[in-house]
Amino acid sequence: MKLETIAIHAGTIIEDKNRPAVQPITLSTTFEHVEGSPIYSRANNPNRLALEQVLARLEHGEAAAAFSSGNAAGMAVFQSLEPGSHIVAPDDMYHGLRSLLVNVFKGILEVTFVDMTNVQNVEDAITSKTNLIWVETPSNPLLQVSDIRRICEIANDKKIKVACDNTFATPVYQNPLLLGADIVMHSTTKYLGGHSDILGGALITKSKEGIWEKIKMVQQVGGAVPSPFDCYMLTRSIKTLPYRMKGHAEHAAILATFLQQHPKVDKVYYPGLISHPNHLTAAAQMSGFGGMLSFEVSGTADDADRVISHLEYFTNATSLGGVESLIERRAAVEGSDTKTPQNLLRVSVGLEHLDDLLEDLDQALDK
């Protein structure tokens, strides 16, 4: 099956005798003790099984595990490491997962943050205790791109696992497992959910052996799992993912070019631009450049806030990946330890009419 067909059909498991075209929601928390029974909904559920099935197929993996949030998914990987393990992670790592490593796992795991756009930095940071390299590409919110294949070659030589946060690219535009990664992570709240109404996370694995067995144990025993309704909604949303992403990417590329030429914009971060420092790496490992971009408004944080205040079709809100366009001054959200420029605006480009989005940005920047 091709991508669009997988998205529509791989997440449907029909066992109802009436043969509905859409899989029903199974709300029961417990199941009769028969062969193949899910037994208890924390361990499994028919809707979660269907969701995990389509996620695994989309990412070319052997299995998937769904969680109640993206952070819960990332934490399951960290919880599966032995105490004292060392992690190499990007210095512009998503702040929620970075906070987990710095605060929740302080004294339990060691972490070194490096600029992963330079692969040599990754190799130099590896120690005898390194058990995981965490890659995030494109990164949030600086849209930096790391060379997944080269990082995985280094890790494989040293028998180190690689996990890749693929939230921005989605499986439509990037498949880290095919580039050598062991685990792919998604905040399914974002593009996979696609409508800003589902909270969730997921992990997909190349192999069911080794660390995956422990991850599944963390999922089922820890219990940070999505509800049957959320699994149903997410599986439904995935059916339109390939087509939504085409619209998001088309709009983002045009907006990025427009912003790059605007006199009141200092810098645009979008890997599809030839001027992006990691453009060639992105082009080599991505089939499209996604719907996220960031740009620096000329001036200060106040100037950036003023631009937001004049926008009509961009909602000033956290999160991303919905059909509506969202914008926020990211540094204000990330806190005092942010690496993000204070005048940077992160944009999740939506599916409104392109002309409306262009006109809205233009008038807001000119005020």
- What b-and-e string marks burial along 274-285, b requiring 16 or more CB atoms within 10 Å of the CB? eebebbebbbeb
- CB contact at 8 A, 62 and 56: yes
pTM: 0.96
pLDDT at position 275: 97
Backbone φ, ψ for residue 40 (5° rounding): -150, 140
Euclidean distance between CA atoms 224 and 68, whole angstroms: 5
Cis peptide before 90 (omega within 30 of 0): no
pLDDT at position 16: 87
Question: What is the Cα 227 distance to its own chain's centre?
Answer: 20
Q: What is the DSSP string of 302-366?
A: HHHHHHHHT-SSSEE-S---SSS-EEEEHHHHH-TT--S-TTEEEEE--SS-HHHHHHHHHHHHH
Going by the DSSP 8-state scheme, the letter that residue 23 receives in this structure is P
Euclidean distance between CA atoms 231 and 27, whole angstroms: 11
Each residue's pLDDT expressed in tens, for the chain with a length of 367 residues: 999 999 999 999 998 889 999 999 999 999 999 998 999 999 999 999 999 999 999 999 999 999 999 999 999 999 999 999 999 999 999 999 999 999 999 999 999 999 999 999 999 999 999 999 999 999 999 999 999 999 999 999 999 999 999 999 999 999 999 999 999 999 999 999 999 999 999 999 999 999 999 999 999 999 999 999 999 999 999 999 999 999 999 999 999 999 999 999 999 999 999 999 999 999 999 999 999 999 999 999 999 999 999 999 999 999 999 999 999 999 999 988 888 999 999 999 999 999 999 999 999 999 8
Question: What is the Cα 43 distance to its own chain's centre?
Answer: 24
Length of the chain: 367
List the catalytic residue out of 57, 98, 147, 165: 165
List the catalytic residue out of 190, 329, 330, 346: 190
Residues 6+ apart with CB under 8 A from 27: 228, 229
346 noted as active-site residue: no
Euclidean distance between CA atoms 211 and 232, whole angstroms: 28
Which H/E stretch holds residue 292?
Answer: strand 292-297
List the catalytic residue out of 42, 214, 246, 264: 42
Question: What is the Cα 155 distance to its own chain's centre?
Answer: 22
- CB contact at 8 A, 240 and 234: no
190 noted as active-site residue: yes
Going by the DSSP 8-state scheme, the letter that residue 177 receives in this structure is G
Cβ-based neighbour number of residue 337 at 10 Å: 9
List the catalytic residue out of 57, 94, 161, 329: 94
Up-side HSE of residue 127: CA atoms within 13 Å toward CB? 9
Euclidean distance between CA atoms 88 and 96, whole angstroms: 16
42 noted as active-site residue: yes
Going by the DSSP 8-state scheme, the letter that residue 181 receives in this structure is -
Angstrom CA distances, 365 to 146, 266, 282, 295, 309, stand at 31, 12, 29, 12, 10
pLDDT at position 129: 98
Please return the burial class of 335, using the count of CB atoms within 10 Å of its CB with bins 0-12, 13-18 and 19+: exposed
